């Protein structure tokens, strides 16, 4: 929300604008990720991990995208 007391040189809030560059043609499911041995140490697949925003290493991303169709947006 807009905070009128916030100053440009000392903001109370910050925002990052992002946009997708590509998307998978079909969703990647959790069971599919669990079936990939190279991803067994992935944070998302650890016991007790919450299914929310999780880090994905560049190596993990390459493994996931290797066999998937990706559409550029």
Is 18 within a domain? no
**Could you tell me what percent of the chain has a pLDDT over 90?**
48
Quote the domain boundaries for residue 48: 27-72
Residue 1 reports pLDDT greater than 80? no
Is 38 within a domain? yes
Is 44 within a domain? yes
Is 5 within a domain? no
Using pLDDT thresholds of 50, 70 and 90, give the confidence band for residue 50: confident
CA distance 64 to 70: 11
What is this structure's pTM?
0.68
Is 58 within a domain? yes
Is 15 within a domain? no
Of residues 53 and 27, more confidently modeled:
27
- Into how many domains does the chain fold? 1
Residue 61 reports pLDDT greater than 90? yes
Is 35 within a domain? yes
pLDDT reported for residue 33: 95
CA distance 19 to 66: 22
């Amino acid at each position: 929300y807009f905070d009128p007391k916030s100053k440009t040189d000392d903001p109370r809030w910050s925002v990052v604008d992002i946009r997708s560059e590509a998307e998978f043609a079909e969703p990647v499911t959790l069971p599919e990720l669990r079936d990939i041995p190279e991803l067994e140490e992935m944070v998302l697949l650890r016991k007790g991990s919450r299914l929310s925003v999780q880090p994905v290493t560049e190596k993990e991303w390459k493994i996931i995208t290797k066999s998937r169709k990706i559409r550029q947006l």
